[in-house]
Structure formats: structure tokens, C-alpha cells
Structure 1
Amino acid sequence: MDEAIAGPIHAFLASQGRDARGRTLATVLDFDDARIESTHDFIQWLFPLREASQAVPGSPVLGEAEAEAIRRDRMAQAGLMAARVRMMRFYVLTRGWLTAFDHNHLRITRILTSLRDLVGLEEARAFLADILRLNEAAGSPVNPESLAYWRRAVED
């Protein structure tokens, strides 16, 4: 670990702590696709934001000091990248989100925003490019409003 643990989200992403339900990062990353689809209180830990979750009250909110510590910590960065890989695998292997409206559209916005803020714009844009390719390959079923949110999340 490069940095002193700055809070519970940082500890979780650096594989040094647990989420509010006692799960480790490794446990969450090991969820099967059905569990990822049906569980709604893990994404806020994998991809934290500075805003409170409207979908899951009581979810952690990322403060600036903790965000900066995550940006500097190689272990936390590795945790974020492992989460990115797992969620992309979920989107590649599942098709339920490829519809006009789906709760995964909100998750994708969260992922893009968190990657942008904690890893970098390039990584967020790469995730978006992969998501857009999946949408196009499915005949572009995702609604224009979701697409606009995603694109705004990766603007400079």
C-alpha cells in the first residue's frame, strides 16, 4: 500500500477493508452475473462518487481527501481496475441492459464518472467506447438520454 488508509471506501478498494455488509473487494468481484444484476448495494463501493446514491440510501459518499488517497494508492487503483474489468465482463456477457431503459444505465453513468474522477479521463473514455460498441452491436437499443449522460460523464 502506498498511502495511509483515508477512509472506508479507500480501505475497501485497496483490499484492506470491507463494505457496509462485511464483504471484501474480492468477494464482490467474485459475484456471478445473476448476483451482480440482482444486488444493488455494491456498485457504490466499487465506483464511489462525491454525491449520495439516490438508489441506495446510506451508501458511502466519497470525500476529497479519500478521493485523493485513492488516486495515489496503487492498491486502490488496482482494485478500481479489477472492478472495471469485472463490470465490463458483466456487460459483455449479459444482454438485459441492452434495452431502452434499465437500472444498469445508471450504473454505467456511475462507473464512467468514478473512473474519470479516480483513474482518469482516458480510462473512462475507453470504458464508454466498449459500452457503445456493445450497444451498436445490439442494434442501438439504449435510449438517447442515457447515451447523453454517458457522453457528458467523459467530457473534459
Structure 2
Amino acid sequence: MSEAIAGPLYAYLAGRGRDSRGRSAADVLGWTDQQLEDTHDYIQWLFPLAIRSGAQPDAPVLTPAEIQAIRSDPRATGTLEQATDRMLQFYRNTPWWLTWQDHNHLRITRIIRSLNLLVGLETARRFHADILALHEAAGAPVNARSLRFWLEAAGS
């Protein structure tokens, strides 16, 4: 399936497209932790969903064709796996999200949902478990609502 038919999110994750600001997935994956924290329009591209983003309403939304194309293309799923590793590294390196409420809690929900949709339940649950381990090690500071959203996103 061509990128034109599948869409911009597929092209981006397959390594042949750029986001609305001209950045490739590889560009974003090379960012510092501070850049990942301070920039708020990349997560919808790295971890897309089939629903509109409340935080970035102009971000593209997955179509059924893109979902199928991403699931069946090892380049796209490979980018998602690299993005998962990078975001987990980010969360391990940065303690500021380990608080009652933080915008990163919404990002974590999105990541888990996107992984569940595009890579599979096992990958989503593994990321969820890693995030919960960080949460527990920090004394369990995250609010119950965020924890519930994460659990629901992981299909539990």
C-alpha cells in the first residue's frame, strides 16, 4: 500500500514521511529529554490514534487503511518499538512526571492505547508494567484516575 493511500501517519512511521513541522520520526527520537518534555506536538505523530487529540486537535487521526498499513509494515512497527524504548528512557530519566497530576500522564495513556492498537496488547502491557514499576518505586504519587486510564488502555 502506498503512503498516499495509507496516509501521512503511516508514511511518518515507515520512515518516509515528515510531520506537520517537517520533522522525521528519527529526528524526534534523537531529541534530548528536555526537548521531549518541552515540545507538545510530536506525541500524536509517534503514537497515533483513531480519535482526535484534545491537546493537538489539528494532528492527523489514523484511518482504517493506515492502521492496517502500520500493523503490516515492519518499518512502521519498528519505529513504534524504537519510540516506545525512547519514551521509556525519558520516563526513567525524568522524575517530574511522578507527581499527582502532570501532562505526561495523558501522554502515557496515549502511548499505551497506540501500542495496543498498532503493535499489540503484549507490547502495550509491557510498557504499562514498566511505567507502573517507576510509579511504585517513586512511592506511588500518580492519581488514581490516571492509573485507571492506563489500566483501561492496556486492556485490563
TM-score (norm: length of structure 2): 0.97
- After TM superposition, the structure 1 = structure 2 runs for residues 54-93 of structure 1, keeping only pairs within 5 Å, are 54-93=54-93
Say which SS state the counterpart of residue 96 (structure 1) adopts.
Answer: helix
Query: Counterparts of 2:90 and 2:54 in 1: how far apart (Å)?
Result: 23
What is the identity, as a one-letter code, of the residue corresponding to 2:91? Y
**What is the Cα deviation at residue 154 of structure 1?**
1.2
Aligned to 1:125: 125
Which moved further from structure 2: 54-63 or 98-107? 54-63
Residue 26 (structure 1) aligns with: 26
C-alpha distance in structure 2 between counterparts of 1:155 and 1:134, whole Å: 20
Distance in 1, matches of 2:2 and 2:125, equals 29
Deviations 1:13-71, CA, capped at 9 Å, x for gaps: 01101000000111000110001001000000000001111001201100111111000
| Letter paired with 1:144 | A
4+ residue stretches of structure 1 with deviation over 2 A?
none
Q: Match of 1:105, as an amino acid?
A: H
Runs (5+) with no aligned partner, structure 1: none
Question: 1:4 corresponds to which residue?
Answer: 2
Q: Which residue of 2 aligns with 1:144?
A: 144
How far does the alpha carbon of each residue in 1:110-131 deviate from its partner, in whole angstroms, 9 at most, with x for none?
Answer: 0000000000000000000000
The alpha-carbon deviation at position 134 of structure 1 amounts to 0.1
Q: Distance in 2 between matches of 1:14 and 1:111?
A: 17
Instruction: Number of aligned residue pairs: give it.
Output: 154
- Once the two structures are superposed, residues 130-156 of structure 1 have per-residue CA deviations (whole angstroms, 9 ceiling, x without a partner) of 000000000000000000000001116
> Which one has a larger percent helix, Structure 1 or Structure 2?
2
For 1:50 and 1:72, locate their aligned partners in 2 and report how far apart those are by CA, in whole Å.
17
Specify every segment of 5 or more residues in structure 2 that has no aligned partner in the other structure, as ranges. none
